[in-house]
Structure 1
């Protein structure tokens, strides 16, 4: 009798923990064997929802079955399908173009999310001061390169760390567990070579503004953040390059470059940032770690294109974290 009561108690405890730990049904992943659907129309299959980009003029074949690897929001307007004959093979199609008959539904009769693929217009642009980064990571290939040649562009210009769709939970959209494991272990050389999907011009420019490409930073940034961007690798990096170029042609770059090895006040930094837009300083977090300028974290909101004015992206973006310091040291690549 006592043993039976203990067994029942253990079962109740197990059920209680399962209710706490299991994800809410609205966010549960659909089992792999159920992630298939049938095309009901010859719709275009695009690689960018916002631009309608469709290399190869790919269309669905009515009656053909495709694997769903993601969707753009909880109540989706588009599914991300795997189309083996296309290049790239992952394409967006409107939900109306496929049949819902084969898809599982939750208790409300709605189709639950498959794999969350972030779609939004809030971003965080991480702008780095490379000499400060290399002060703490001298063993990195890009830092050895800078030590050998302190006249490299990143010695006096901001470097691109990354462009991150927000909120910060929007990462690894539609990425395999194998690649996630490689990325988290910093085994970036084992990640897909996203640079092969870039035009020669874009790849050449990226290597200048992102010195971390020497350590395959571009692969990490694409897998973790770029996969949640509404566009191709070419669009993601082209638009990131345009943003970092804006900073490197602005008074904030001139202020920092002309004060290498010296302290710069937060007041002067905010004044320089104001050239990017009204109250821009309120939207940009100055990361001053151990009294040394490390990065600028820029809150952006809007549809990013290579020609979008950064002032427009800053206008409605959320305010940044308030700084608690009065001045920052600008690190020198020659030290």
Structure 2
């Protein structure tokens, strides 16, 4: 009986996507920044992604800007807004792959209550408000370091951020993402508990920029 009780309780506490479809019904944003060499190693190389080619020079790139509830998150919301045009997603190419920009709009942007153009502009503004730490800019060699050092570098480069507003994630032994929590007005804020899940490995690999 005890085990039968604990299983549904654990499931209830585990964060899951929210079922509400109301566009604009969310509490804050998570800006997700991917370490591009890690994404290429894990996914992009297998797809022959052009952004993983030698000489691309990409370090942290935007994964997405995600509307978030204090627990859970909405996705694939109903909205009367049209998808962005090819020109609009291609214009995001300096921050993220155009195909990813379209996917992020469809999965997350539709929940923002904004038009596609407004969402992409908000995503760009959020990314431009975050300073990438200088040591990671064009990283010339592979390095291994504690996830906490990556977080500290972002806090030093962005004094308005707080430790509870920055989360560093990993996938196996490699650095995956840095996630930064922002208000709906793109001001720094602490992440809700279900987002505050830092990588627990003692160290992670950051492969050099290609």
TM score, norm. by length of structure 2? 0.73
Residues 301 and 316 in structure 1, CA contact (< 8 A), matched pair in contact too: no
Query: 1:102-143: per-residue Cα shift (whole Å, max 9, x none)?
Result: xxxxxxxxxxx9x532423311111111111111221325x3
Shift of 1:292: 0.9
CA positional deviation for 1:325: 2.1
List per-residue Cα deviations over 1:157-215 (Å, max 9, x = no partner): 31111111113441111169xxxxxxxxxxxxxxx7523473xxx842x111102x2xx
- List per-residue Cα deviations over 1:215-269 (Å, max 9, x = no partner): x22221111110111322122111212222333x332xx2323464011233422
Residue 326 of structure 1 aligns with which residue? 202
**195 and 325 in structure 1: CA distance in 2 versus 1, 3 angstrom threshold:** same
Counterpart position of 2:63: 161
Of 114, 124, 132, 1:241 maps to 124
Misfit runs of 4+, over 4 Å:
none
Q: 1:146: how far off?
A: 2.4
What is the CA distance between 1:293 and its match in structure 2? 0.9
Partner in structure 1 of residue 172 of structure 2: 290
1:48 corresponds to: none
In the alignment, structure 1 segments of 5+ residues that lack a partner are 1-112, 177-191, 305-312
**Which residue in 2 is equivalent to 1:126?**
32
Q: Which residue of 2 aligns with 1:256?
A: 136
Three-state SS of the structure 2 residue aligned to 1:120 is: coil
- Distance in 1 between residues matched to 2:117 and 2:174, nearest whole Å: 33
**Alignment RMSD (CA, Å):** 2.8
Question: Are the structure 2 counterparts of residues 172 and 256 from structure 1 closer, same or farther at C-alpha, using a change threshold of 3 Å?
Answer: same
1:44-193 equivalences in 2 (<5 Å):
115-137=21-43, 138-141=45-48, 143-147=49-53, 150-154=54-58, 157-167=59-69, 168-174=72-78
Kept in 1: contact 2:140–2:208 (CA 8 A): no
More helix by share: 1
Could you tell me which runs of 5 or more consecutive residues in structure 2 were left unpaired when the two chains were aligned.
1-19
**Greater C-alpha radius of gyration:** 1
Q: Please state whether the residue corresponding to 1:132 is helix, strand or coil.
A: helix
Shift of the 241–219 alpha-carbon distance from structure 1 to 2, 3 Å rule, reads same
Partner in structure 1 of residue 85 of structure 2: 195
The aligned runs of 1:263-302 (5 Å cut-off) are 263-275=144-156, 276-277=158-159, 280-302=162-184
Aligned length: 183
Tell me the equivalent position of 1:226: 109
Q: Secondary structure at the match of 1:315?
A: coil
Cα distance change of structure 1 residues 164 and 145 upon mapping to structure 2, 3 Å threshold: closer
TM-score by length of 1: 0.48
